[in-house]
Chain A
Amino acid sequence: MNNKSLILTSILASLALTACGSSDTEEKLNDVVDQIEDVIDGDEEIIIYGPYSTGTASIPASVYFDLDTMEVVTLTDEEAKTDTQWDIAFNRTDIYLNNADADAPVSVYFTGNNSDFFDEEGAAIANSFINATPETELEDFEAVMLADVPSDETSFIVDENNRILDGFYVYNTTTHVVTADDTHAFIVDSDGTYSKFRATSITTSELDLTEITLTYSNQTDVDTAFATAESDVVIDIASACAGFDGVYVDFELGQVVSASDNWDVTLPCNEAKTGASFEINLADDATAMQDFDNTYDAIDIEALRYYEFEENEYNVRAFDTLPWYQYGLDGGHIIWSQYGVYIINTATASYKLQITSYYNADAASGNYSFRAEALK
């Protein structure tokens, strides 16, 4: 049963009930007739869901929303990691898509509406954002139909869980040979030192790493740039793993150290303790960023906030690449929705979504309101 049929059935049912027991039957009948006409004319109201609070400024909370039922799912953050009922979640300005089911993660595609909210150089036009309202942007939402869903699935993106130090080797699918990718540098922030390193040599044995050379340069807390001269740490993994769970490297010392030392990165040893798997992990108290274009010869401490340092495993949110808002356009601390219309694919259906506000009626921030509807 499609939505229109469902609504008509509901209205007729309520009509019957109303006619049976009410004294102002005529008035109510007229209302019902109006509703029926709206449905027939396609004028049924498009619902704005919310506002849903993502907590207070000091205590944030996540809102998990199920697009199938158009309802909030009450879950703890821990439960949400494995729950597959919710589709989209909100926490402050961040939006998450469910990827608990690795085979069918929720994905999103941006329709590209309101591109005229930006000038030719890509800068936001303040008045376009400020003057936009849910009413003026309704047309954009209504215009997106099932036919607009791209057939190319690669147009959709998902939230991904990545490891920040992935990408240090290249696997040749033809020769099945693994080599070091010495163009992919990583910058590690650990124990007050920034270390820029790359793998420059790899030796393998079957499915394990047995030797690796990490070439690095450090920027200590008294430096303003990485050392111009690079150094090597040559690690005989096969030897280092003997009797240990991992091989631990401290770039400040430029050597392999023990697990109890202030190590920066580690390579996990295999069960036989004869080599390491093809991954490098960060220490829990360290962060790192990828510098695959070799852009940085220094870390500007004053601008640290604006580098993309991440923990060992991090979530790459699809909505981070599809910004839904602009901030501070009028010089104040206000978040303005771009009223972008997004198509969201779940395992069972396609939906359109348009965020209309980050505020409730009392102007408290962190309160999401949005339009959402199954595409038909």
Chain B
Amino acid sequence: MHLYSNQIIKILAIYAASNLFSTAVIAQEEKSTTHSSHHPAHHSTKKKADEVIVVTGTRTPKLLANSPVQVEVIEQEQINLLTQGTIAQALNFIPGVVVTRNQKDGYNVQMQGFDGDNVLILLDSQPLISPTGAAVDLDQISAQDIKQIEVIRGAASVMYGSSAMGGVINIITNQGKENQLNLSYEVGSYTQNSLEDDLYSHQARLGATLLTGDWRHQVNTLLKHTPGFDYDNDHSSTPAGSLDKIFINLASSGKIGSLDTAIKYQFFDEEKDKNTGRIAGQSNYQHYISEVQQQQFDFDISQKLNRYHDKIQRQWQVNSRIMEHQETSGGTGSLRNANFGLYEVNGKYVWSTTELEIVSGGLIHKDTLEQTKVDDGSKEVPFVSKESIEAFSQVNWINKNSQYLLGLRVQDDSSFGFNSALRVSGMNNLLTGENKLKLRYGVGQGYRVPTLKERFYEFDHSSLGYKVYGNEDLNPETSITANTSLTFETSFEESLLGSFDFTSDVNIFYTQAKDLIDSVTDPERSIEEALDISVYTNIDEAILKGFDWSVAANYSQWQSQLNYSYVSAKDNNHVRLEGRPKHQFKASIGYTPSKYNINSMLYLVYQKDEAVPTEGFENGTLNNSWFTIDFKLSHQFSKHFSWRLTLENILDEHQDTDAVREQLFDARPVSSRFVSLGITYKL
């Protein structure tokens, strides 16, 4: 019976793999080569699962293959190939992740039907400031010196607290293991969409690691200028404006006695300027301006308490983060200053044997916000703060072919009292050996505590007839999610299609969310103030459900992956939640001939049937499906030098901004074909 099921699985696998156009090509290629070297940029998925360590699923290091919580990983080499700037471009590569451009020209993500407010972005397992509502701007996170990005899809509030209802993206920074210096420069162009007076993008990076005794010192800087682009010759209103960024990251880590310590400092500066059209009735142009300065200071200590031959492993860790973000943004004539603060101390204690692992911890967290209008000094948000004390614990029972997790988190918030989340999950190895079949499943609660802006905001545009108010009486959003995934891995040796590793992964989710927060019209207050008054309000329930299906076939030098995601997100009136695409398809082909020291990847993203907003598009829909193709290539041509070529959005698929101005819905992204060439020196 076991052999029989193996055959069926293999046949299904071959059938799925044979649908990959690339695979046939790859097979012929593979037959012609006996080269079998491993290239780090594209771990085969099977090897990757057996070699890559992930930390996000359980807050302890686990082999990817043994993680009882399913984790998607992008490794350093792959990140370097996908982006030299910020992580926004890299995340678009991950199956099931929808990257969206927000109103501030930043980037957010959607996962499993939740928007960016409910996907928690972490840097080294700690939260970041969210200048756009509750969503972190992915374009304000440097992709430089990142070890890997780990993605958990589905509710993860048990381990990570508020905002992790749709999933967690954890960006793990690198700890250099040898002295090194690298310098790189890149120049790029938006080709035919370039602006005449600002033709080229420029990007310079410097990274260095210095080891002195038990200490490691790192510096990473990134200077980036991105010009705007436009789709016509009239630049009175450009879909994208000029963008200048500076990232400076400093880090030192080492031992003080038996303590592992790390000190990190990050500085970020950003300036945006975009024409948004001629001022009505005036001869000059309106601009959208954003000036951001952000500083972050981390101090981490940890200690392993293990003794030689101890069966019990113990470790504690304390991390702290201070982060401050000043921003002046808005249209000329309606600028505002916003000051955000984030302060957190968190700790955990891990106790483990070969069969049992217990992770317990807690944290103290504080957020502050003050928002002031520049023209008259009035407060859109007075100085406000909120604090929370949180505690969590998770038990992991580990058997030979199964694992079970039970986790609980309790949060006492200064404004909302106690919130809790419980999660039960497990993993079973249904097949082991040559063919591996893993079943992961879980049911978990999620929550999101309202942000300070949602509670205290007063956006006064009375001169235009409307106001938006925060609401101090909001309740936290809550959710309960059930999800299950089935992962199959096998290897084919000398088959018709050559020798390759094959992986198939299906993930199904169902979420019931309550008290989602949105701004809605308040008729009573509208009457009182004779204006259109919108107030942040807990709206009704929503049901989010869907599935992701991925197949990957990986040869020694060729890699291919296909992914399809389906999301249904509706409120209890069966009205679709805005902005969510129902269908997403991603495909990639990587070619990494190590004897030429080349990494390359071609990938496409296709999205279809986005829920159309009810307001602003009264004239219908122009386009509700799109796809983009990107190609990235890097080539190390000497011991110290490499060059790279980037072709983004090769088909120049983009929104028709004129049509959108005429209130026609166009789901295509604000984007442009982009070509860049870069060179890197590495010592």
Instruction: List A residues at the B interface (Cβ < 8 Å).
Output: 54-60, 92-93, 126-127, 130, 133-134, 287, 301-305, 309, 327, 330-337, 356-366, 369
How far, in whole Å, are A126 and B619 apart by their CA atoms in the complex?
11
The B interface, classified by DSSP as helix, strand, loop or mixed, is: mixed
Any chain A CB within 8 A of the CB of B434? no
Query: How big is chain B's contact interface, by range?
Result: 35 or more
B350-375 near A? 1/0 per residue, CB < 8 Å? 00000000000000000000000101
Any chain A CB within 8 A of the CB of B178? no
Q: Among residues 635 to 669 in chain B, which have CB atoms less than 8 Å away from a CB atom of chain A?
A: 660-663
Q: Among residues 405 to 427 in chain B, which have CB atoms less than 8 Å away from a CB atom of chain A?
A: none
Contact B460 A57 (CB under 8 A): yes
List 9 A-B pairs, Cβ < 8 Å: A57-B461, A93-B464, A303-B523, A304-B523, A334-B277, A336-B281, A359-B280, A360-B333, A366-B463
Chain A residues within an 8 Å CB radius of B286 = 363
How far, in whole Å, are A361 and B279 apart by their CA atoms in the complex?
8
How far, in whole Å, are A127 and B527 apart by their CA atoms in the complex?
32
Q: Among residues 238 to 252 in chain B, which have CB atoms less than 8 Å away from a CB atom of chain A?
A: none
Task: Name the one of B276, B378, B464, B527 contacting A56, with C-beta atoms under 8 angstroms.
Answer: B378
Chain A residues within an 8 Å CB radius of B373 = 57
A363-B464 contact in complex given A56-B376, A126-B663, A305-B526, C-beta closer than 8 Å = no
Chain B residues within an 8 Å CB radius of A357 = 279-282
How far, in whole Å, are A303 and B373 apart by their CA atoms in the complex?
30
How far, in whole Å, are A359 and B465 apart by their CA atoms in the complex?
14
Most interface-central of A93, A133, A363, A369 (chain B CB within 10 A):
A363
Contact B463 A92 (CB under 8 A): yes
Chain B residues within an 8 Å CB radius of A327 = 464-465
**Known A363-B286, A365-B333; 5 more pairs at CB < 8 Å:** A58-B376, A334-B277, A337-B280, A363-B331, A363-B334
Q: Nearest 8 pairs between A and B by C-beta?
A: A357-B281, A363-B333, A305-B526, A366-B463, A304-B523, A364-B333, A330-B661, A56-B376
B155 to chain A, nearest CB (A): 33
Contact A369 B281 (CB under 8 A): yes
Chain A residues within an 8 Å CB radius of B466 = 333
Question: What is the chain A residue whose CB lies nearest that of B462?
Answer: A57
Contact B280 A56 (CB under 8 A): no
Any chain A CB within 8 A of the CB of B332? yes
Contact B461 A362 (CB under 8 A): no
Question: What is the chain A residue whose CB lies nearest that of B332?
Answer: A363
B41-68 near A? 1/0 per residue, CB < 8 Å? 0000000000000000000000000000
Chain B residues within an 8 Å CB radius of A304 = 523-524, 526-527
How far, in whole Å, are A335 and B282 apart by their CA atoms in the complex?
12
Task: Name the one of A54, A59, A287, A333 contacting B376, with C-beta atoms under 8 angstroms.
Answer: A59
Q: Among residues 269 to 325 in chain B, which have CB atoms less than 8 Å away from a CB atom of chain A?
A: 276-284, 286-287
Contact A361 B464 (CB under 8 A): no
Contact A359 B282 (CB under 8 A): yes
How far, in whole Å, are A180 and B141 apart by their CA atoms in the complex?
73
Contact B281 A58 (CB under 8 A): no
Chain B residues within an 8 Å CB radius of A362 = 332-333
Question: What is the chain A residue whose CB lies nearest that of B619?
Answer: A126
Q: Among residues 174 to 198 in chain B, which have CB atoms less than 8 Å away from a CB atom of chain A?
A: none
A335-B464 contact in complex given A126-B661, A304-B524, A304-B527, C-beta closer than 8 Å = yes
How far, in whole Å, are A58 and B459 apart by their CA atoms in the complex?
10
Any chain A CB within 8 A of the CB of B521? yes
B666 to chain A, nearest CB (A): 11
Chain B residues within an 8 Å CB radius of A335 = 280, 464
Any chain A CB within 8 A of the CB of B616? yes
